[in-house]
């Protein structure tokens, strides 16, 4: 399918020769020469967006004034929040967020047929790649058969979803599926899919070169910015609109420059660097902004480290963390098997269009900050936020203080002692470092022996996630730690569940080539699958004895993972404190097994001769790591592992599906159901209705993440979702996870706001998805919402700061809308979730004038009225009337966070997909 461009202007369209071919391109210097402004000192990240304006300028959606606005941005010191229409080149999906997106596309085909259109009008116009990476769970671990057993179980659980995705691959044009067991979408994107500079034919048949750009249905799409590919996460609904040809409405962003100087010192890793960057940028405040990295320090930062930093942009709150094209970009492309002609095009294009980082590169930025990398020290982050940076030598006392606060006023050690006595007077457990009475201890008897668990026992140590498993330096480092530990006779503690889930098969290739996989296996880090696993909550169950002990004594169990997210309730229902760490540290923590102990000074264990072994004794040097990386991470490994990336294994090839334009929704399926968004939809939209007499569904605090809002992880049979499945004869063992059932709105709406750690302030000290129903009694949020819907009562939610932080979970907005919530009123919103709410027709509002849910003394029994919404303008302030239970009322001013004119249209239509469907239905059907 040819690419669409806005025009063929001789002013900016030029020709470039590279790699033995000539291609057209849209020239920023030519735009300057044509009098459109001075763009010479724009950051490279913003030049990518500017090129998009040049290529799609049509006098309507994109105008010359939009282009001139970029010159004004530079002249105004990095600020000019003009609304623009941006069109990314492609879309990336993973299966958790991708399945509901394909479900919606399938439903749109039904919907357009019902409106008199043609099913073939619903096809992606931009290339879409969906990588199945979120479905494998760590059921088996620590043995050579773990990988195969987990894969078998994955197919058993997910065959309905895989049949559906295979149907989509056949039915939709411009849509490819990367099968299970290949890798994590962001790593596959970085190592294979991304081209840095793309080229394709346009409507006139001429080859055009342009920057590789994308949006993805996963917040860590930003990883590819490490390779100078501009991309960020959006909600599934926004991604669907992008694939269907709708531009992304955005404001020209502010760009914060992050200057890197110096170089990393011995004993530190890319993970230590990125955790420091996360802390600094969270403190700076970069939500909704681009961050671009520059400075001479970049000369010593390999692209794998850049990708690690880019990956965690959602954790520091930025839209993206961008690294301009330079010599290291070209080296990485060559190493990972990209075509030499492509590499030549990237270099020539970047230099011609002013996107190359050379000596002295220092453009205009909105603001800057600086880090001397020689000051970075080993660190972890936790226990529940990525930005909670802790120097490694301070981790133990910080954990003890965390426990002290958790246990304040709660002395449950007497119950533990009674249990020990009831078990037959087992030996007294050793004292736990810390304040007496604040650390709780439990006793575990297993078939293999007995041991003590306590607050701080590390029960999960997982090398997982795209963030670090994409980086050969830290992965080889982890293998060397395992080798040295093995040589000294150390073993992981028996209560630690260990796992290794690489981001791509290439990782296994170089670990095997370096003969390090055997050492990792010996420490319990056997391959469990190629996917996100523990990082997204697919950690699988702990041993029953360990789980029982943790829950019996209410222990604060700990996980240590090489991931990017450690929010409450995310990793495992049995784990309360979660820490992000480098892969080598994950191995080390599996050996010591205790967060109370200073891992930098305490012995990890004893060698064969009884001598204490310390972290410094098994930590590899940078030279050791670099030597093995140079020897084993080869171009040939990348080319061979990605040779048949879309083919899949025998299991994938044996998945059967149907050939049909529209999907035959199986009525008995509990994984895929036809959603209600387009059923009974009229051809014409209405107006935004006033919100009158709305009741409050939840009062929520600060930093309520999409993990709190969106259904994620496992769930029990006593929950509304569990009840729904058991009523359909699904056994609890077959529940799988919320993420795997995102194609079934009935399951997902029952799990919205049902996180085990969410706290609704309407209730006193209660954790979990509960609220007050219309009768004033405590009930599940789902049941209360359905009761209010039966009464015809609209609902609102109040929240604190950074509402919706975290992953780009479209179900956080979809579930909110399906529960009947008409508005969310918060102190501030995270970027993606605000956009997703708008995309589902839910109105976001922000408090003004210092008002908060606390200052208003809200209890949850109030009603809320917001009028005048039919004529509301983007960012307009309106009056909300709060009526208290005693009949008194108060008017407050709130700011509408519908940010642009097109967003208002989306809400008028009931959502972005309804907008697109009506638009397509109104167009003539193309002739055959």
- Give CA–CA dist 316/293, Å, rounded: 14
pLDDT of residue 653: 92
Task: Report the CATH superfamily, name and number, of domain 379-633.
Answer: Aconitase, domain 3 (3.30.499.10)
The tokens 């001429």 sit on which residue? 206
Mean pLDDT across 124-149: 91
pLDDT of residue 134: 84
Confidence grade of residue 832 (pLDDT, cut at 50, 70, 90): confident
Tell me the per-residue pLDDT of 233-256, one tens digit each, with 9 for 90 and over.
987 778 888 888 888 888 999 999
CA-wise closest residue to 827 among 702, 705, 708: 702
Q: Global pTM?
A: 0.83
Residue 98 pLDDT more than 90? no
Confidence grade of residue 633 (pLDDT, cut at 50, 70, 90): very high
The answer to whether 485 touches 583, Cβ cutoff 8 Å, is: no
Tell me the per-residue pLDDT of 544-603, one tens digit each, with 9 for 90 and over.
989 988 988 889 999 999 988 888 878 898 999 999 999 999 999 999 999 999 999 999
- What are the CA-CA distances from residue 387 to residues 285, 330, 595, 703, 800 (Å)? 12, 32, 19, 12, 18
Mean pLDDT of the chain: 91
The answer to whether 795 touches 816, Cβ cutoff 8 Å, is: no
DSSP 514-581: TT-HHHHHHTT--B--SS-GGGGT---PPPHHHHHHHHHTT---EEEESSS---TTTS-TT-SEEEE-
Most confident of 166-170, 202-206, 406-410, 478-482: 478-482
Residue 425 pLDDT more than 50? no
Residue 295 pLDDT more than 70? yes
152-158 LR contacts (CB < 8 Å, sep 24+): 154/180, 154/529, 155/180, 155/651, 157/734, 157/736, 157/740, 158/671, 158/736, 158/740
Residue 771 pLDDT more than 70? yes
Mean pLDDT across 838-862: 96
The answer to whether 513 touches 476, Cβ cutoff 8 Å, is: no
pLDDT of residue 553: 83
Q: Give the other-Cβ count within 10 Å of 744's Cβ.
A: 26
- Give CA–CA dist 612/216, Å, rounded: 48
Mean pLDDT across 403-424: 62
Domain ranges, ordered by start, for the chain: 13-86, 379-633, 691-710+752-921
- Give CA–CA dist 512/515, Å, rounded: 5
pLDDT of residue 508: 94
pLDDT of residue 573: 87
The answer to whether 676 touches 665, Cβ cutoff 8 Å, is: no
Mean pLDDT across 490-509: 94
582-592: burial string, b at 16+ Cβ within 10 Å, e else? bbbbbbbbbbb
What radius of gyration do the chain's Cα atoms show?
27
Secondary structure percentages of the chain, helix, strand, coil, to 5: 35, 20, 45
- Give CA–CA dist 201/135, Å, rounded: 36
- Give CA–CA dist 724/103, Å, rounded: 20
pLDDT of residue 62: 94
Confidence grade of residue 99 (pLDDT, cut at 50, 70, 90): confident
The tokens 């209405």 sit on which residue? 686
Q: What percent of the chain has pLDDT over 70?
A: 94
Phi-psi region of 138 (alpha: psi -120 to 50; beta: other; left: phi over 0): beta
Mean pLDDT across 301-322: 95
pLDDT of residue 853: 96
Tell me the per-residue pLDDT of 381-394, one tens digit each, with 9 for 90 and over.
999 998 999 999 99
DSSP 379-434: EEE-SS-TT-EEEGGGHHHHHHHHHHHHHTT---HHHHHHHHHHTT-PPPPPPPSS
Tell me the per-residue pLDDT of 642-684, one tens digit each, with 9 for 90 and over.
999 999 889 999 998 888 999 999 999 999 999 999 988 888 8
Give the side-chain half-sphere CA count within 13 A for 198.
22
Residue 103 pLDDT more than 90? yes
The answer to whether 558 touches 577, Cβ cutoff 8 Å, is: yes
Tell me the per-residue pLDDT of 161-202, one tens digit each, with 9 for 90 and over.
999 999 999 999 999 999 999 999 999 999 999 999 999 998
Tell me the per-residue pLDDT of 349-378, one tens digit each, with 9 for 90 and over.
999 999 999 999 999 999 999 999 999 999
Tell me the per-residue pLDDT of 738-761, one tens digit each, with 9 for 90 and over.
878 889 999 999 999 999 889 999
pLDDT of residue 594: 96
pLDDT of residue 928: 38
Distance, first Cα to last Cα, the chain: 16
Tell me the per-residue pLDDT of 56-86, one tens digit each, with 9 for 90 and over.
999 888 999 999 999 999 999 999 999 899 9
Angle, CA 830 vertex, CA 827 and CA 833 arms, to 5°: 110
Q: What is the DSSP letter of 805?
A: B
Confidence grade of residue 470 (pLDDT, cut at 50, 70, 90): confident
Q: What is the DSSP letter of 211?
A: E
Tokens of 92: 């990336």
Residue 422 pLDDT more than 90? no
The answer to whether 230 touches 350, Cβ cutoff 8 Å, is: no
The tokens 């729904």 sit on which residue? 724
Q: E strands, 206-276, where? A: 207-211, 213-216, 230-233, 248-251, 255-261
Tokens of 246: 């709708």
3-state secondary structure of 711: coil
- Give CA–CA dist 635/639, Å, rounded: 6
- State the DSSP H helix or E strand holding residue 129, giving kind and residue range, or none if neither: strand 128-131
Residue 447 pLDDT more than 80? no
Instruction: Spell out the SS3 assignment of 830-856.
Output: CHHHHHHHHHCCCEEEEECCCCCCCCC
Tell me the per-residue pLDDT of 84-94, one tens digit each, with 9 for 90 and over.
999 999 999 99
Which residues 6+ apart lie within 8 Å of 595 measured at CB?
395, 396, 399, 456, 457, 458, 558, 560, 577, 579, 589
Tell me the per-residue pLDDT of 10-44, one tens digit each, with 9 for 90 and over.
589 999 999 889 999 999 999 999 999 999 999 99
pLDDT of residue 10: 55
- What are the CA-CA distances from residue 826 to residues 548, 749, 796, 808 (Å)? 38, 21, 11, 18
Q: E strands, 572-726, where? A: 577-580, 605-606, 612-613, 691-699
On the question of a cis peptide bond just before residue 383, with omega within 30 degrees of 0, the verdict is yes
User: For the chain, what is the largest distance between any 2 Cα atoms, rounded to a whole number of angstroms?
Assistant: 89
Q: Which fold has domain 691-710+752-921?
A: Aconitase; domain 4 (3.20.19)
pLDDT of residue 249: 82
- Give CA–CA dist 839/909, Å, rounded: 10
């Amino acid at each position: 399918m040819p690419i669409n461009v806005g025009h063929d202007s001789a002013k900016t369209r030029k020709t470039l020769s590279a790699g033995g071919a000539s291609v057209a391109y849209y020239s920023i210097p030519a735009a300057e020469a044509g009098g459109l402004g001075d763009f010479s000192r724009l950051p490279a990240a913003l030049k990518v967006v500017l090129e998009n304006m040049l290529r799609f300028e049509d006098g309507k959606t994109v105008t010359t004034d939009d282009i001139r606005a970029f010159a004004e941005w530079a002249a105004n010191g990095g600020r000019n929040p003009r609304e623009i229409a941006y069109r990314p080149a492609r879309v990336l999906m993973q299966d958790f967020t991708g399945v509901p997106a394909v479900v919606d596309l399938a439903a749109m085909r039904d919907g357009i047929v019902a409106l008199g259109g043609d099913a073939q009008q619903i096809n992606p116009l931009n290339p879409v790649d969906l990588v199945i990476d979120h479905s494998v769970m760590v059921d088996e671990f620590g043995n050579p058969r773990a990988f195969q057993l987990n894969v078998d179980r994955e197919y058993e659980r997910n065959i309905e979803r895989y049949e559906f995705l295979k149907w989509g691959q056949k039915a939709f044009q411009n849509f490819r599926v990367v099968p299970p067991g290949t890798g994590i979408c962001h790593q596959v994107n970085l190592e294979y899919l991304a081209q840095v500079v793309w080229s394709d034919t346009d409507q006139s048949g001429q080859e055009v070169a342009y920057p590789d750009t994308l949006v993805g249905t996963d917040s860590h799409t930003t990883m590819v910015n490490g390779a100078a590919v501009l991309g960020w996460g959006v909600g599934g609904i926004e991604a669907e609109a992008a694939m269907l040809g709708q531009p992304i409405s955005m404001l020209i962003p502010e760009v914060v420059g992050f200057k890197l100087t110096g170089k990393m010192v011995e004993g530190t890793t890319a993970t230590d660097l990125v955790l420091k960057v996360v802390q600094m940028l969270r403190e700076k405040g970069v939500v909704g902004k681009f961050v671009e990295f520059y400075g001479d320090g970049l000369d010593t930062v390999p692209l794998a480290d850049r990708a690690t930093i880019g990956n965690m942009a959602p954790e520091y709150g930025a839209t993206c963390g961008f690294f301009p094209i330079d010599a290291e970009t070209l080296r990485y492309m060559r190493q990972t098997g990209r075509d030499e002609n492509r590499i030549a095009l990237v270099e020539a294009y970047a230099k011609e269009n002013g996107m190359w980082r050379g000596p002295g590169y220092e453009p205009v930025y909105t603001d800057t900050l600086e880090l001397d990398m020689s000051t970075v020290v080993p660190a972890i982050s936790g226990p529940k936020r990525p930005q909670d940076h802790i120097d490694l030598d301070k981790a133990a006392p910080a954990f003890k203080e965390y426990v002290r606060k958790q246990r304040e006023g709660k002395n449950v050690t007497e119950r533990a002692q009674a249990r020990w006595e009831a078990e037959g007077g087992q030996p007294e457990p050793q004292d736990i470092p810390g304040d007496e009475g604040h650390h709780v201890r439990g006793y575990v008897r297993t078939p293999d022996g007995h041991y003590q668990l306590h607050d701080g026992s590390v029960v999960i140590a997982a090398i997982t996630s795209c963030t670090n498993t994409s980086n050969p330096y830290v992965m080889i480092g982890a293998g060397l730690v395992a080798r040295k530990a093995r040589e000294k006779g150390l073993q992981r503690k028996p209560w630690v569940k260990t796992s290794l889930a690489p981001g791509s098969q290439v990782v296994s290739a170089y670990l095997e080539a370096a003969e390090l996989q055997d050492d990792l296996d010996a420490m319990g880090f056997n391959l469990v699958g190629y996917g996100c696993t523990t990082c997204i909550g697919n950690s699988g169950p702990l041993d029953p004895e360990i789980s029982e002990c943790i829950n019996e004594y209410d222990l604060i169990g700990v996980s240590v993972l090489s991931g990017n997210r450690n929010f409450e309730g995310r990793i495992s229902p049995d784990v309360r404190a979660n820490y992000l760490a480098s892969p080598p540290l994950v191995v080390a923590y599996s050996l010591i097994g205790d967060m109370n102990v200073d891992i930098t000074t305490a012995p990890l264990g004893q060698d064969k001769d009884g001598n204490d072994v310390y972290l410094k004794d098994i930590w590899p040097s940078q030279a050791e790591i670099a030597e093995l990386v140079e020897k084993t991470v080869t171009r040939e490994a990348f080319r061979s592992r990605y040779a048949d990336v879309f083919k899949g294994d025998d299991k994938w090839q044996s998945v059967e599906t149907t050939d049909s334009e529209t999907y035959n929704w199986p009525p008995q399926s509990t994984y895929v159901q036809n959603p209600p968004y387009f059923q009974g939809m009229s051809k014409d939209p209405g107006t935004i209705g006033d919100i009158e007499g709305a009741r409050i569904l939840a009062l929520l605090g600060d930093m309520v993440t999409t993990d709190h809002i969106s259904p994620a992880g496992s769930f029990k049979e006593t929950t509304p979702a569990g009840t729904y499945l058991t009523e359909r004869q699904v056994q609890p063992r077959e529940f799988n996870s919320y993420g795997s059932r995102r194609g079934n709105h009935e399951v997902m709406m029952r799990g919205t706001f049902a996180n085990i750690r969410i706290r609704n302030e309407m209730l006193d000290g209660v954790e979990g998805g509960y609220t007050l129903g219309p009768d004033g009694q405590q009930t599940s949020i789902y049941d209360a919402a359905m009761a209010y819907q039966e009464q015809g009562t609209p609902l609102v939610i109040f929240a604190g700061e950074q509402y919706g932080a975290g992953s780009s979970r479209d179900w956080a907005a979809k579930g909110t809308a399906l529960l009947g919530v008409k508005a969310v009123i918060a102190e501030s919103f995270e970027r993606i979730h605000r956009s997703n709410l708008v995309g589902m027709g839910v109105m976001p509002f922000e408090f003004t004038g210092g008002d908060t849910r606390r200052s208003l003394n809200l209890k949850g029994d109030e009603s809320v009225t917001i009028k005048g919404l039919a004529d509301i303008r983007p960012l307009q302030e309106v009056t909300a009337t709060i009526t208290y239970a005693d009949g008194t009322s108060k008017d407050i001013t709130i700011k509408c966070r519908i940010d642009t004119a097109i967003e208002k249209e989306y809400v008028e239509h009931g959502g972005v997909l309804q907008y697109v469907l009506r638009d397509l239905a109104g167009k003539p059907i193309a002739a055959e």
